[in-house]
A = this chain, B = another copy of it.
Amino acid sequence: MPPSAKAKITKADKTRARLIEVATRLFQEHGSGEVTVRRIAAAAKIEAGSIYYHFASRDEIMRAVLESGVGGAHEEVMQAIAKAGPDCSPLERFRAALSAHFKYTLRRHFSSRMKEIRRLPKRLRDHHMKQEREYAAVFAGLLKEAQRKGLLRPGFDLPVVRMLAIGALTWAAEWYDPAGAKSPDDVADELMRVLTGGIAR
């Protein structure tokens, strides 16, 4: 037994992680319904039956993909906020958070779609929605802080604004062309400029 028994990474752990990674990509590329267990297996260079050593069912794979997706985004967004530093303006941190969200969505090709969640068994669905609420709370917190510090004009429905902003970027992952002239940061910056200052004279 190795010195640290807790941290033991088995072969199964690695295979499981690879399966989630591959499934995430396939789900996002083709839509959840078109991705078969056999296709996930093929993409992970494994036989279809072997998947059931790691997951009890196809739904279980989906749950893991969603959990890993939101979890990963949450983590990276928190890191981006931390990197921006606690001293800079909440709006500047909000910008960093949006940018991280966008880049994660692009890289992991992940976005949690309501439709897919609705199909899940209730138990799994509840857990996922809780996770998603926690993720949204990060952005909400930054906006509230900005409001508290008097950085915002009054009269906005901040939850709606938050959803619109995040949604604009989540959708941007659908049309963004990595081969184009704009970097992901350019897009996030453009959104932030519109969001803070508006485009009208």
How many residues in A have their beta carbons less than 8 Å from beta carbons of B?
A: 48
A201 with B33, Cβ < 8 A, contacts A156-B190, A171-B168 known: no
Asked whether A171 lies within 8 Å of B167 as measured between CB atoms, the reply is yes
A199 with B195, Cβ < 8 A, contacts A30-B33, A113-B174, A171-B167 known: yes
Q: Which of B30, B32, B172 contacts A164 (CB 8 A)?
A: B172
Asked whether A197 lies within 8 Å of B32 as measured between CB atoms, the reply is no
Contact with B along A151-166 (1 / 0, CB 8 A): 1110111001101110
A187 with B201, Cβ < 8 A, contacts A33-B32, A171-B168 known: no
Copies in the complex: 2
Nearest CB of chain B from residue A198's CB, rounded to whole Å? 3
Asked whether A30 lies within 8 Å of B119 as measured between CB atoms, the reply is yes
| 26 chain-A/chain-B pairs, Cβ below 8 angstroms | A31-B33, A31-B116, A32-B33, A33-B35, A34-B119, A114-B175, A151-B201, A153-B197, A153-B199, A156-B190, A156-B194, A157-B182, A160-B187, A160-B190, A163-B175, A164-B168, A164-B172, A164-B187, A164-B191, A164-B194, A167-B171, A168-B171, A170-B171, A194-B198, A195-B198, A196-B199
